């Protein structure tokens, strides 16, 4: 009976030790992986798609967007590319035309005779180029443009749109000049002076500006402007500095949003726009690198959105989650019936002008000096974090200590039960040997 109890105790001890090894191993593994990112890369879903497109190239992909479920979707042209996309945690959509083919189509449209009142962009979701014409385009111009589209291929889609494609001159804060009313975009600096980044069509270099909400006091002078082609300009403050709250864009009602960086948007991303006429509005990005033929000239490389805008909203800021994305260029429709609005990407404007966003003292993630820079970030850079190396996590006693203690205790229990059993066997052998030879 006593021997049976001993066997039961030994078996229970060994089972407990084995369970302890498994539990301790799981605790160590969990602590070691605590700082690792999830299977899908960190940051916005659009960032994952952009990285995949950059890696696979434009001959094997045809754009990326954020799906209805929040995942990144990448259009690909072959099965191998689709497998790579799925392994990265994104959704693959196989399409017939690569980005190279789609860009070749937009280049052919640009080389055709210019028709004011038209716009086009690559629609990543449908894998085609969509050409829109407003009500000012004559039947003859529509017919000639349709012939150009037909020669390019069946993936160029023509459609009529309501309203008129026009700049939004005459938000954010209103700024006035002899040419009309616009909206202040973002405050920027070159390290010596502060400026307002706004739309280029708001006024040429040398235009004087006045504060529309501060009694018409002198605000500054346009020192650089690009329009058409692009659509951005730089207004130098009369006093040289932007003053308090330089890192905040006004959204109406005495409220504002602090801007902490700049990036390029992703198709499908929800975005917000502020303007001195229509206030704060939101919508989604529908296309990138869009071309618009305004009456004043053609502008390329724009962001196309479903956000509405009205006259006077020009130059107002486009942003999302505190990240500057663009300044209002133009579009069609209004905020009653809706419409399409185009934006000048802020990263391209900052690079071309040699300036950076102003960040006020003590801003999150920034330096303590007013006017310090907020760098232009590649897609997703604002959302990524630091991942510690595996050796550092394994040697961090605070993280894996409890698991290691459980493992060590279980090993000691196993060794002890084995040693005690061996010792008992030796003693029994000695007794039996002595009894035999005596």
Q: Pick from 341, 336, 278, 274: which is nearest to 307 by CA? A: 341
Please check whether residue 95 is in contact with residue 75, taking contact to mean a CB–CB distance below 8 angstroms.
yes
Q: Tell me which DSSP letter residue 41 carries.
A: P
d(CA 138, CA 242): 46
Nearest-angstrom CA–CA distance, 322 and 393:
32
Could you write out the DSSP letters of every residue in 226-259? Answer: E-SBS-EEEEEETTSS--TTTTEEEEETTEEEE-
Instruction: Report the C-alpha gap between 177 and 209 in whole angstroms.
Output: 5
Between CA 305 and CA 272 the distance in angstroms is 10
289: three-class secondary structure by DSSP: strand
**Do the beta carbons of residue 317 and residue 323 sit within 8 Å?**
no
How does strand 248-252 pair with strand 118-123? unpaired
Residue 216: helix, strand or coil by DSSP?
A: coil
The residues carrying an active-site annotation are: 201, 231, 314
Inter-residue contact 274 to 249 (CB < 8 Å): yes
Q: What is the dihedral of CA 7, 11, 13, 18, to 10 degrees?
A: 160
């Amino acid at each position: 009976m006593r021997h049976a109890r001993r066997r039961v105790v030994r078996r229970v001890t060994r089972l407990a030790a084995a369970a302890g090894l498994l539990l301790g191993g799981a605790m160590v593994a969990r602590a070691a992986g605590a700082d690792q990112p999830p299977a899908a890369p960190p940051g916005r879903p659009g960032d994952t798609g952009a990285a995949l497109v950059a890696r696979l190239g434009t001959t094997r992909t045809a754009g990326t967007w954020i799906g209805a479920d929040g995942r990144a979707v990448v259009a690909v042209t072959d099965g191998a590319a689709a497998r790579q996309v799925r392994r990265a945690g994104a959704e693959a959509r196989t399409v017939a035309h690569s980005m190279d083919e789609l860009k070749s189509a937009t280049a052919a449209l640009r080389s055709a005779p210019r028709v004011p009142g038209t716009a086009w962009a690559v629609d990543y979701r449908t894998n085609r180029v969509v050409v829109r014409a407003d009500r000012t385009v004559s039947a003859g111009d529509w017919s000639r443009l349709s012939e150009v589209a037909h020669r390019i291929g069946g993936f160029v889609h023509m459609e009529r749109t309501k309203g008129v494609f026009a700049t939004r001159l005459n938000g954010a804060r209103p700024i006035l000049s002899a040419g009309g009313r616009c909206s202040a975009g973002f405050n920027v600096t070159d390290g010596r002076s502060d400026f307002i980044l706004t739309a280029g069509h708001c006024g040429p270099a040398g235009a004087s500006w006045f504060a529309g909400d501060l009694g018409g006091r002198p605000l500054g002078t346009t020192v650089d402007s690009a329009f058409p082609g692009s659509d951005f300009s730089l207004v130098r403050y009369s006093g040289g500095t932007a003053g308090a709250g330089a890192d905040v864009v006004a959204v109406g009602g005495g409220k504002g949003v602090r801007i902490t960086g700049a990036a390029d948007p992703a198709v499908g991303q929800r975005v917000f726009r502020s303007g001195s006429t229509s206030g704060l509005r939101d919508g989604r990005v529908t296309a990138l690198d869009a071309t618009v033929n305004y009456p004043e000239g053609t502008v390329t490389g724009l962001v196309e959105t479903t956000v509405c805008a009205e006259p006077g909203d020009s130059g107002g800021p486009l942003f999302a989650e505190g990240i500057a994305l663009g300044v209002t260029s133009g579009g069609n429709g209004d905020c009653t019936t809706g419409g399409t609005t185009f934006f000048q990407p802020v990263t391209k404007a900052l690079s071309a002008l040699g300036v950076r966003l102003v960040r006020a003292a003590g801003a999150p993630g920034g330096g303590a000096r007013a006017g310090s820079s907020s760098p232009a970030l590649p897609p997703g850079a604002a959302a990524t974090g630091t991942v510690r190396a595996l050796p550092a996590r394994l040697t961090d006693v605070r993280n894996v200590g409890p698991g290691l203690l459980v493992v060590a205790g279980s090993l000691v229990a196993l060794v002890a039960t084995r040693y005690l059993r061996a010792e008992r066997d030796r003693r029994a052998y000695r007794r039996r040997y002595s009894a035999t030879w005596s």
